[in-house]
Amino acid sequence: QVQLQQSGPGLVKPSQTLSLTCAISGDSVSSNSAAWTWIRQSPSRGLEWLGGTYYRSKWYNDYAVSVKSRITIRPDTSKNQFSLQLNSVTPEDTAIYYCAREIGGFDFWGQGALVTVSS
Amino acid sequence: EIVLTQSPATLSLSPGERAALSCRASQSVSSSLAWYQQKPGQAPRLLIYDASNRAIDIPARFRGSGFGTDFTLTISSLEPEDFAVYFCQQRSNWPRTFGQGTKVEIK
């Protein structure tokens, strides 16, 4: 059974960097069939796909246009996990952040983490 | 980006009744559409992928149909645990996008 365990701070100051990690068990971040993604949810924006990383003989990344200039998603093969960095955050980035595996649909999700951007 | 429009916003039904939820895409997504159920305080749960395939452990009362731009999630007979919010999502194009959700509430 695949499990995704998220970790990271729940409070980030405006203009700083939001950093979250998603540890994978039951699958590999280097899987040739999965994409490893970050999704957030807020009342104002609903469910918003932020981006993902995936391995198909080499590593690829795809990012949402809305955050493309501020986001980095990185795999860590040594720890079998992947991470999210979102720079220059504002209160509009306040949301519940989820990591998820994509095969067909988003079939396994992390537990979710409320990240609040506030001074 | 592909916009997904779900209707109705809220569906008020009684246990045992049939629910039909609609999702319309702004352009064709072929059969690359998924449905999710979300309960308060929980992550979304995958119900249907590729328009009509039930995910692992999803009961047969959940059925997905459609192709192109028009899709339907049907719950044949509502159980008490089915009252929740349902989202559709497309994976035909980047970026992946979600609908705004349909809340199925107890009448």
pLDDT per residue as tens digits for the range B91-105 = 999 899 999 999 999
Confidence of residue A32 (pLDDT cuts 50, 70, 90): very high
User: How many of the other CB atoms lie within 10 Å of CB of B74?
Assistant: 13
Residue B85: its pLDDT value, please? 98
A38 touches chain B (CB under 8 A): no
Among B45, B50, B98, the residue with its CB nearest the CB of A47 is B98
CB–CB of A107/A10 below 8 Å?
Answer: no
DSSP class of residue B1 equals -
- Measured between CA atoms, how close is A118 to chain B, in angstroms? 22
Q: What share of chain A is helix, strand, coil (3-state, %, to 5)?
A: 5, 60, 35
Q: What is the mean pLDDT of residues A27-51?
A: 97
Q: What is the mean pLDDT of residues B8-24?
A: 97
Chosen for mutation from B96, B98, B103 (greatest number of chain A CBs closer than 10 Å) is B96
- Measured between CA atoms, how close is B41 to chain A, in angstroms? 9
Q: What is the mean pLDDT of residues A75-80?
A: 98
The identity of residue A14, as a single letter, is P
pLDDT at residue B37 greater than cutoff 90: yes
Which chain B residues touch A102 with a CB distance below 8 Å?
91, 96
User: Which tokens hold the place of B1?
Assistant: 């980006």
Residue A71: its pLDDT value, please? 98
pLDDT at residue A106 greater than cutoff 90: yes
**Residue B92 neighbours by CB under 8 Å, 6+ apart:** B2, B28, B29, B30, B32, B33
pLDDT tens-place string over residues B41-57: 999 999 999 999 999 99
Residue B94: its pLDDT value, please? 87
Q: What is the mean pLDDT of residues A69-81?
A: 98
